[in-house]
Each structure stands twice: as structure tokens, then as C-alpha cells.
């Protein structure tokens, strides 16, 4: 079940009444921005959309504000999910910043699953809200937005020549089939799968060079 935050702050405020003095200026500014209810609402809606009744049934999940703030720390300091879990668990400052305090820190696997729920549409809305806040505070004019793209590691196969060739053939064939379907025409010869017989839509990378070699030899033997 989705919840926005833990029900009450912990004994940190009693044991460390001046604990906020340990925060650096940048972290303090980020903390003020993340208190914006509109941003929290966006993340809350994304987490509630995981299951039809995630907002009312099931075990209590990681609070929305904890998810948001831990993911912000992860991207801010370029940590892995495991590093984020470990560093936040051992830091009083980051525990306070993430609104975790004396509660249990979510593990890396939980963060990975929850981060996957914040898709491109959610991130776009968050960025738009941040730009709006920056305009209100006269930090930026908001007329133009520059984006710094970052390469993110993902689970893909190694891009060998044979697999790239197979991917290209598969995409072209799929595109032609969609064009024929939209045009209402029967599937022409060019729209049929051009992959080697028996390989299907998931060709064996080792078979592609053999197939290409046979086709080239056949073309040379028969001439143009």
C-alpha cells in the first residue's frame, strides 16, 4: 500500500536538535524544492498506478517522499542503487534528508523496482514543475531548456555486426508490415520476413554471417 511519508518524525529531532546544521547549502536548497506538494503528488500517482488498488490494499510500502529523495541523491552523486542504499543507511544527514530517520532504509532491489515506475511521462512532468518553480523564484526565465544527456547502463546484447544486421532486417520488415496494414493492402513480397528460414524473429547471431555469405556467393555465381 502506498503512503506519502512516515507518520511522525523520529527521535533524531530530540537527540540532534541542531542536526540540520550538518547539511551543506546545496542539500538544504534541494530539500526545500522537494517539499513541493505538486512534485510529491506526481510521484505518488505513479506509485499508486503500479496496481489497481495499490493505494488502499497490501503491505505498507516505502513512503513516496523517501523514494523521491533517495532517487534524487542517487542521481545527484552518481551512485549505483547499492551505493545509495549503503551510504544513506550509514549517514545521519542523508537519513534526515530522505525523511527516513530511525526507520528501515529500503534496499537496492526495492529502489530499482520503484524507480522503474517513474517513466518518461512522470519525469517530464517533474521537470516541467521544476522549471515552473525556478521561474517563480526568478532563477531562470524558462524560455529555453538545455538538456544534458547521459549514457545509462542497461541490459542489452553486445552489438556485434551480425546482431546489428539481424536487428536492422527485423525492424525494416516490421515497418513494412505496418505500412501495408495502414494502407489496407495485401502483404507484398517485400514485406515478408527476410530472415533466414528457421531463425524466426530471434535469429541466432552465429547463423547470420553464414546466411549472408551464402546469399553473396549465389549472387556472384548467377551474375546480375
51-65 tens-digit pLDDT: 777 777 777 888 999
Residue 68: the pLDDT is: 94
Tell me which range, 12-16, 76-80, 164-168, is most confidently predicted by mean pLDDT.
76-80
Write out the chain in H/E/C secondary structure: CCCCCCCCCCCHHHHCCCHHHHCCHHHHHHHHHHCCHHHHHHHHHHHHCCCCCCCCCCCCCCCHHHHHHHHHHHHHHCCCHHHHHHHHHCCHHHHHHCCCCCCCCCCHHHHHHHHHCCCHHHHHHHHHHHHHHHHHCCCCCCCCCCCCCCCCCCCCCCCCHHHHHHHHHHHHHHHHHHHHHHHCCCCCHHHCCCCCCCCCCCCCCCHHHHHHHHHHHHHHHHCC
* Residue, of 143 and 123, whose pLDDT is higher: 123
Share of the chain above pLDDT 70, in %: 69
Average pLDDT over the chain, rounded to an integer:
77
Residue 205: the pLDDT is: 45
- Averaged pLDDT, 19-46: 87
Residue 188: the pLDDT is: 54
pTM, two decimal places: 0.59
Residue 142: the pLDDT is: 64
Residue 67 has pLDDT above 80, yes or no: yes
- Averaged pLDDT, 180-203: 58
- Per-residue pLDDT of 95-133, as tens digits, reads 889 988 888 899 999 999 999 999 889 999 998 898 888
Residue 211 has pLDDT above 50, yes or no: no
Amino acid at each position: 500500500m502506498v503512503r506519502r511519508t512516515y507518520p511522525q518524525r523520529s527521535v533524531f529531532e530530540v537527540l540532534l536538535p541542531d542536526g540540520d546544521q550538518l547539511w551543506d547549502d546545496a542539500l538544504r536548497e534541494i530539500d526545500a524544492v522537494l517539499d513541493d506538494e505538486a512534485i510529491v503528488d506526481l510521484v505518488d500517482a505513479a506509485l499508486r498506478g503500479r496496481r489497481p488498488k495499490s493505494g488502499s490494499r497490501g503491505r505498507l510500502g516505502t513512503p513516496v517522499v523517501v523514494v523521491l529523495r533517495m532517487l534524487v541523491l542517487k542521481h545527484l552523486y552518481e551512485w549505483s542503487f547499492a551505493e545509495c542504499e549503503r551510504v544513506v543507511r550509514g549517514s545521519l544527514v542523508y537519513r534526515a534528508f530522505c525523511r527516513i530517520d530511525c526507520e528501515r532504509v529500503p534496499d537496492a532491489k526495492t529502489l530499482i523496482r520503484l524507480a522503474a515506475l517513474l517513466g518518461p511521462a512522470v519525469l517530464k512532468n517533474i521537470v516541467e514543475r521544476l522549471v515552473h518553480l525556478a521561474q517563480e523564484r526568478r532563477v531562470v526565465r524558462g524560455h529555453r531548456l538545455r538538456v544534458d544527456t547521459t549514457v545509462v547502463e542497461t541490459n542489452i546484447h553486445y552489438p556485434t555486426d551480425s546482431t546489428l544486421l539481424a536487428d536492422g532486417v527485423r525492424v525494416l520488415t516490421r515497418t513494412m508490415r505496418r505500412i501495408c496494414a495502414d494502407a489496407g493492402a495485401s502483404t507484398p513480397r517485400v514485406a515478408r520476413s527476410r530472415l533466414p528460414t528457421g531463425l524466426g524473429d530471434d535469429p541466432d547471431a552465429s547463423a547470420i554471417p553464414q546466411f549472408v555469405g551464402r546469399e553473396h556467393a549465389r549472387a556472384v555465381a548467377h551474375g546480375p
